[in-house]
Amino acid sequence: GDSVTQMEGPVTLSEEAFLTINCTYTATGYPSLFWYVQYPGEGLQLLLKATKADDKGSNKGFEATYRKETTSFHLEKGSVQVSDSAVYFCARTDTGRRALTFGSGTRLQVQP
């Protein structure tokens, strides 16, 4: 079935460091891919998305490119800030239905 695999956290970085959070997905159907962010005690907010191969989603300095050949959608940011500390979820649309399948989430901790 559909699945999404994320790198395990927590990821701890210093402010202004480069961030990469790996995400791979099962290659069933033609999914749309998403990154959501969850701040402590809150729901999920869409960070960025890509709907087809080679699309690049970007928002707030974060980027991810839909790579069909490697079934990946890695999240990157060139210079993280303390305010980026949160849990990041990679997700894909389910094949045949309209729910989302989520990765396990990666906690990012940015230290000043």
Partner 1 sequence: GAVVSQHPSRVICKSGTSVKIECRSLDFQATTMFWYRQFPKQSLMLMATSNEGSKATYEQGVEKDKFLINHASLTLSTLTVTSAHPEDSSFYICSARYEGGNTEAFFGQGTRLTVV
Which residues of this chain interact with partner 1, rule CB under 8 A?
A: 31-32, 34, 36, 41-46, 49, 51, 89, 93, 97-105, 107
**CA 40/CA 87 separation, integer angstroms:** 8
- Write out the two tokens for 6: 């994320």
Residue closer to partner 1 by CB (options 49, 77) is: 49
* Pairing verdict, β 86-93 and 33-38: antiparallel
Question: Which H or E run contains 15?
Answer: none
Closest approach of Cβ 6 to partner 1, in Å?
Answer: 9
Closest approach of Cβ 91 to partner 1, in Å?
Answer: 8
